[in-house]
Amino acid sequence: MADKTYTACVLIIGNEILSGRTQDVNLAYIAQGLAGVGVVLKEARVIPDVCDTIAATVNELRAKYDYVFTTGGIGPTHDDITPDCVAKAFGVKNVLHPEAHRILQSVIKPEDLNEARLRMAHTPEGATLIPNPVSRVPGFKMENVYVMAGIPAVMKAMFDSVKPTLRGGKPVLSRSVSCDLPEGAIAKGLGEVQAAYPALDIGSYPAFRRGGGYFVSLVLRGRDAGLLERAAQDVAAMVKGLGGNPTLE
Amino acid sequence: MADKTYTACVLIIGNEILSGRTQDVNLAYIAQGLAGVGVVLKEARVIPDVCDTIAATVNELRAKYDYVFTTGGIGPTHDDITPDCVAKAFGVKNVLHPEAHRILQSVIKPEDLNEARLRMAHTPEGATLIPNPVSRVPGFKMENVYVMAGIPAVMKAMFDSVKPTLRGGKPVLSRSVSCDLPEGAIAKGLGEVQAAYPALDIGSYPAFRRGGGYFVSLVLRGRDAGLLERAAQDVAAMVKGLGGNPTLE
């Protein structure tokens, strides 16, 4: 019986990514984590801090994918509007979450727990919390939407706490063959290996070598370790047959 | 008279980004470049190497934004399908481009110019080329869609050659105030400054300090240098008034 494929989308919320001020690093971390639990990341989007855009995009994506992971916009300042907008998307109020309130009270002195900070204890009605072992202020989950911080250290901690709870298929494994021939020389043979293994996804990624010139990483991905091994051997043999010197990794 | 706002979207095409194998760095580069020529980057998407998805997304985005910049998928291997899919989006054939053909002939020996490499001289019918001073194989422009390589060094060279041709508004400028108070302490005052300057976009970005603890970067962005300066002074005064030690950058 074929596995059900569990799909996901990452929604990066933040003007700072779209202005180029901040280099996103959360996507790659979530992507690797999802592959490890057999969830297929189908798409990622970066959108600005605009409430209608956030709400509409959340609604589009949660209908389309099994999981939506958002990053960014859950702090105390005026530009931290994600919880409000997710509430709007679900048509519910953004309300004080008693457990989040207790967590904030345990780390913030009563005289410092001002209105702005109290906003961080608000979640859409019906949300469950995502723990934050780094700075305590929690994220939350609303049905299949996981709302996480943008700061990478915090986001990672939140995602790590959520990851074991995700339903996925078999983990996606990968093998890599490093190749010293140019892409144009191996393209035909590589296409033939791909055609012979439709269950695998084979990618060819040229990169510059520090000392000058290109090398090519041929990356095979799939859920069947045996198939992956056979295909990687076929790729290596193909490269060797063309006079190259492949390295399996 | 108000400037027309020129908008853009970046479309990152590649399984390697969605698998977490490759950390995208192209988005931040394009974002900064667009801000410099007064084009507002409204969205970015990452999608897999699936032709129907690429064609449908290109069509959605080119109707929605003034400019669409794609990265990835223009090499000789089986997974380099972007030109085919952009042709599909526009309802035209992907054909040999005489100028691209001449460029390839000038850098590839006739006996090496195999079918796979010749694919790199194909563009959707009606496309104009985007020069590639790094590795010569060109990108192309099809109406408002700019199709560029995924390799950062090549993408940057292509984008740099396109950038001076873009119509934009006044450049987006930014000022930054570094703040040693926590976000929760300045949130109210910062919101008030934002409310007083609706033409500016003020963001608050906490980050971990290497030595431990947080600091907060308050970033102001807008097209009016005078307004930006006044607002930055107001933010700094607000932080100072709360007992902080702001640094204008």
Are residues A40 and A127 both part of a single domain? yes
Average pLDDT rounded to a whole number, residues A76-90: 97
Smallest Cβ–Cβ distance between B75 and the set A42, A114, A206 belongs to A206
Helix/strand/coil (H/E/C) assignment for every residue in chain B: CCCCCEEEEEEEECHHHHCCCCCCCHHHHHHHHHHHCCEEEEEEEEECCCHHHHHHHHHHHHHHCCEEEEECCCCCCCCCCHHHHHHHHHCCCEEECHHHHHHHHHHCCHHHCCHHHHHHHEEECCCEEECCCCCCCCEEEECCEEEECCCHHHHHHHHHHHHHHCCCCCCCEEEEEEECCCHHHHHHHHHHHHHHCCCCEEEEEEEECCCCCEEEEEEEEECCHHHHHHHHHHHHHHHHHCCCCCEEC
Residues on chain A touching B54 (C-beta within 8 angstroms): none
Report the share of chain A in percent with pLDDT over 70: 98
Q: Quick check: A117 and B184 CB within 8 A?
A: yes
Residue A124 tokens, joined:
């859409």
CA distance B89 to B81: 12
Residue B1 lies in a domain: no
The residues facing B130 across adjacent strands are: B139
Q: Report chain A residues whose CB lies below 8 A from the CB of B206.
A: 75, 151
Is position A1 within any domain?
no
Contact A79 B204 (CB under 8 A): yes
How many Å apart are CA B70 and CA B47, to the nearest integer?
Answer: 10
User: How much is the pLDDT for B1?
Assistant: 44
Provide the mean pLDDT of chain A.
Answer: 95
**A201: nearest Cα among A242, A178, A231:** A231
* A15/A35 same-domain check: yes
Confidence bin at B135 (pLDDT 50/70/90): confident
Residue B96 lies in a domain: yes
Q: What is the mean pLDDT of chain B?
A: 95
Q: Which of B67, B78, B214 to mutate to test the interface with A (most CBs of A within 10 A)?
A: B78
If asked whether residues B139 and B194 sit together in one domain, one would say: no
Based on the domain organization, do A186 and A236 belong to the same domain?
yes
Q: Are residues A177 and A157 in the same domain?
A: no
Per-residue pLDDT, A207: 80
Cβ(A238)–Cβ(A186) under 8 Å?
yes
B226 CB-near residues (< 8 Å, 6+ apart): none
B197 is written with which tokens? 């300057």
Backbone CA torsion sign across B35, B41, B46, B47? negative
The CATH code of the domain that includes A209 is 3.30.70.1130
Give the distance from residue B208's alpha carbon to the nearest chain A alpha carbon, in angstroms: 8
Contact A224, A197 (CB under 8 A): no
Q: Tell me the two tokens of residue B213.
A: 């603890």
Q: Are B35 and A19 within 8 A, CB to CB?
A: yes
Q: In the listed set A138, A165, A192, which residue is the last one of a domain according to the structure? A: A165
CATH, residue A131: 3.40.980.10
pLDDT tens profile A223-237: 999 999 999 999 999
Say whether pLDDT at A60 is over 90: yes
Note whether A118 and A203 are same-domain residues: no
| pLDDT: which is higher, A4 or A152 | A152
What is the average per-residue pLDDT within A62-67? 98
Same domain, B106 and B152: yes
Cα angle vertex B85, ends B84, B89, to 5°? 120
The confidence band for A3, taking pLDDT boundaries of 50, 70 and 90, is low
Is the model's pLDDT at A11 over the cut of 80? yes
Q: What is the largest CA-CA distance in chain A?
A: 73
Residues A33 and A145 both lie in one domain: yes
| B151 lies in the same domain as B219 | no
Domain end (from A116, A143, A165): A165
**Reported confidence tier of residue A209, pLDDT bands at 50, 70, 90:** confident
Q: What is the pTM of this model?
A: 0.96
Q: pLDDT grade, residue B208 (50/70/90)? A: confident
ipTM (interface pTM):
0.95
Q: What is the predicted pLDDT for the residue at B210? A: 72
The whole-number pLDDT of residue A1 equals: 44
Buried b / exposed e along A74-85 (16+ C-beta atoms within 10 A): bbbbbbbbbbbb
Which residues on chain A are in Cβ contact (under 8 Å) with B80? 204
- Please check the confidence at residue A135 and state whether its pLDDT lies above 90: no
Residue B116 lies in a domain: yes
Chain A contacts of B187, Cβ < 8 Å? 76-78, 114, 116-117, 119
Q: Is the CB of A235 inside 8 Å of chain B's CB atoms? A: no
Q: Is A120 helix (H, G, I), strand (E, B) or coil?
A: helix
Close Cβ partners of A230 (under 8 Å, ≥ 6 residues apart): A197
Residues B211, B113 share a domain: no
Residue B2: which pLDDT band, with cuts at 50, 70 and 90? low
State whether B114 and B182 are in the same domain. Answer: no
Domain count, chain B: 2
Task: Kindly state whether residues A119 and A199 are assigned to the same domain.
Answer: no
Task: Say which residue the tokens 């507002």 belong to.
Answer: B40
Q: Is B134 domain-assigned?
A: yes
Tell me whether B25 touches chain A (CB under 8 Å).
Answer: yes
Query: Does A123 fall in a domain?
Result: yes
Domain around B81: 6-165
> Helix A82-90 vs helix A51-64: angle between axes, to the nearest 10 degrees?
60
Domain boundary among A165, A183, A203: A165
